[in-house]
Amino acid sequence: MIRVGFWFDYGLVYSGGLNYFRNLLHAIHVAQQGDVKTILFIGKDLPEALEREFARVTEVIKLDLLTRGTATWFVHRSLYRSIRSQLLVERILRKNRIDIVSHASMVEQLSGIKLISWIPDFQYLHLPQLFPGLDFDKRSTEIRTIHDGSDAVIVSSQDALRDFAHVVREPQPRRTYVLPFVSQTSAHDQSVNLQTVLDKFKLPQRYFLLPNQFWEHKNHQVAFEATALLKRQGIETTVVCTGWMRDPRNPSSKPIDSLAFVEREQLEANVRLLGSIDYAEVLSLMRGSIAVLNPSFFEGWSSSVEEAKSMGKPVIVSDIPVHREQDPPGARYFDPRNSAELAAAMKAAWETWPAGVHDENETTALEGLKRRTAEFGRRYVEIVREVATPAPKGAP
């Protein structure tokens, strides 16, 4: 039995990372590979409902060390920052007989415990203006350190692999695997009644859903501009936005320009900003929408696109390499800097695509989801087996 510990040290505010862990652990469970046992280490601030969900697919161990603000968390941070010590982490992992620690943000090797690292994306290479104060050379050096210190590195797309190869200066980086994640929606998207959600937020029956965090690279502005263009043409569309309204890279900031544009163009009835709402409610709104919008300038592997694929919902997305790689069925692509292109795609969808639940599309998508999930889980387990197998003497 190979015991794999998933060390969630990103903080619960990182909802994208949390959903990634949910998807991967579910897939490993579905794959039913009996030689791998998973254990999730996470903070004690994990909501009870999420703990129950994780407990169905993995063992869950909640730790003070992973709970931001606790004395143990502060001690560990101090030891790590001052002398790069992982003493407390290693003690916990050894106590639980962990063979491999997976998907942690740590960069140092642990004595006698193998390490599978995960790098979500390389956004800083493409949008450096969004990272004020970041030392780009230092960040690239850190990534090379992760590569050198890991027994395997996972990236989510071929697009990310190209970036990784550039950073580590290897045309084909060693011990590196492309593992696109598959979003699980079937357990959530029917758990909340759609009409109940529409009534709760006073939403119309027909709308587009833009379920992205309100971060600068997510490019809400182009969607608002497209909505304004359509309004001037006499086409009153509705765009429902969900997600955090603050960018963690700049916690004091607000999406001032975009919100000022909504007010200036009198789009309050057309652009509905719900903020961060329950994940099941988001999926319910996705299920009932005309289409999902993702105007992002950059993605590592888009969660909202994967969620739409998993429930058979059409998408209108920015024409960026990773969206092409994800290849959602029937997608409409547009230049993320061209609001007129997006407006044209939205107009066509508004006038011809139905809203609400599409039973046939959902059934087809669910069949594909089962297959894709099992493959996702099996591919991860294959990586685990390769890492656990002792390398031949003299191997790099």
Is the pTM higher than 0.85? The answer reads yes
Q: Where are the CATH 3.40.50.2000 domain residues in the chain?
A: 2-182+373-388, 194-357
Say how many C-beta atoms besides its own lie within 10 A of residue 276's C-beta. Answer: 15
Say how many C-beta atoms besides its own lie within 10 A of residue 271's C-beta. Answer: 23
pLDDT for res 111:
79
Q: Which residue has the higher pLDDT, 203 or 120?
A: 203
Residue 126: which pLDDT band, with cuts at 50, 70 and 90?
very high
For the segment 178-202, what is each residue's pLDDT rounded down to a tens digit? 999 999 886 555 668 899 999 999 9
pLDDT for res 189:
54
pLDDT for res 249:
60
The answer to whether the beta carbons of residues 183 and 310 sit under 8 Å apart is yes
With a pLDDT cut of 70, the percent of the chain lying above it is 93
CATH topology of domain 194-357: Rossmann fold (3.40.50)
Q: What is the mean pLDDT of the chain?
A: 90
The answer to whether the beta carbons of residues 192 and 284 sit under 8 Å apart is yes
In degrees and rounded to multiples of 5, residue 280 shows phi and psi of -65, -35
Q: How many CA atoms lie within 13 A of 338 on its CB side?
A: 11
pLDDT for res 191:
66
Work out the average pLDDT over 21-43: 93
The answer to whether the beta carbons of residues 308 and 314 sit under 8 Å apart is yes
pLDDT for res 299:
94
With a pLDDT cut of 90, the percent of the chain lying above it is 71
Helix (H, G, I), strand (E, B) or coil at 38: strand
- pLDDT score of 82 more than 90: no
pLDDT for res 70:
93
Task: Let me know if 371 is exposed, middle or buried by CB neighbors in 10 A (0-12, 13-18, 19+).
Answer: exposed
Reduced DSSP (H G I as helix, E B as strand, rest coil) percent helix, strand, coil of the chain, to 5: 45, 15, 40
pLDDT for res 18:
85
Q: Which residue has the higher pLDDT, 221 or 86?
A: 221
pLDDT for res 222:
96
E-assigned strand segments in the chain: 2-7, 36-43, 59-63, 100-104, 114-118, 152-155, 176-178, 208-210, 239-242, 271-275, 292-294, 315-318, 332-334
Q: Which residue has the higher pLDDT, 90 or 229?
A: 229
The answer to whether the beta carbons of residues 104 and 7 sit under 8 Å apart is yes
CATH topology of domain 2-182+373-388: Rossmann fold (3.40.50)
- pLDDT score of 354 more than 60: yes
For the segment 243-281, what is each residue's pLDDT rounded down to a tens digit? 887 665 655 555 667 888 998 999 999 999 999 898 889
Of the candidates 154, 173, 144, 170, which has an alpha carbon nearest to the alpha carbon of residue 116? Answer: 154
Tell the residue number behind the tokens 């060693």, with chain if given. Answer: 174
